[in-house]
A = this chain, B = another copy of it.
Amino acid sequence: MKNTVYKNTDKILLAVDCIIFGFDGKDLKALLVKRAIEPEIGKWSLMGGFVKENESVDAAATRVLSLQTGLSEIYMEQLYCFGDVERDTAGRVVSIVYFALIKIDDYSKDLMKEHHAKWFSLDMLPTVVFDHRKMIDLSILRLQEKVVSHPIGFELLPAKFTLQQLQALYEAVYNTTFDNRNFTKKILSLGLLVKLNEKDKGSSKKGSFLYEFNHDQYRQLNKEGLRFL
């Protein structure tokens, strides 16, 4: 496509950066990579790339994510456009940031090595390039807002999980603790969970029952705009 009509206007480099959250059963983590190009090569960074002229911004984000994680069909949404003139020290680049939620085990160790990627707990993040810290901070806020009305456990937990894991996830997101009786009561009352006839024996002698999400009910609640905690 040619810009036949809009003459003499300033074209700008457009990038996408992706912040990827995962949950290891205990902590919320963000996936960072060692930056592969100058400037700041080798420093920790969000996954990013440039938007091509014939590519939608969404497609660019999907491409970057897929290229670096090997994952597709993951939960992703646009977060914010960072557009300060001096945000990238090497030139004018406006960045559209996306945030994604993945099941931490879906991301293969091989790809991790290949792209020099590493999971960091949110309270142990290293220094990152440019304005990426601002991006991460904003994404954590967005995640918290999101969680209020969207059952994100879906995206971050394995298909079968225990109530303990689910509660730990919510506690990690909100950085707080909940009374487990009240938490269980509330979550179960939503009809979102299906109790399985299977136990996870990993963490106790008694074992704890595994649950699955009820996808239909999830979609229903998403539409109606439920309110979680």
Interface check A57, CB cutoff 8 A: yes
* Contact partner, A11, options B4, B11, B60, B90, Cβ 8 Å: B11
The verdict on A96 contacting chain B, using a C-beta distance below 8 Å, is: yes
Contact of A57 among B37, B53, B94 (CB under 8 A): B94
Closest CB in chain B relative to A56 CB, distance in Å: 5
In the complex, the count of this chain's copies comes to 2
Q: Mark A1-35, 1 if CB is under 8 A from B, else 0.
A: 11111100111111000000000000000000000
Q: Count contacts on A: residues with CB < 8 A to the other chain.
A: 38
Is A92 part of the binding interface, using a Cβ–Cβ cutoff of 8 Å?
yes
Residue A93 at the B interface, CB < 8 A? yes
Binding site for B on A (CB under 8 A): 1-6, 9-14, 37-39, 50-58, 60, 78, 80-81, 83-86, 90-94, 96
Q: Known contacts A5-B90, A14-B14, A57-B94; can you find 18 more A-B pairs with CB under 8 A?
A: A1-B85, A1-B86, A1-B92, A2-B91, A5-B38, A5-B39, A6-B13, A6-B50, A6-B90, A6-B91, A11-B14, A54-B92, A56-B83, A57-B81, A57-B84, A58-B83, A81-B96, A83-B96
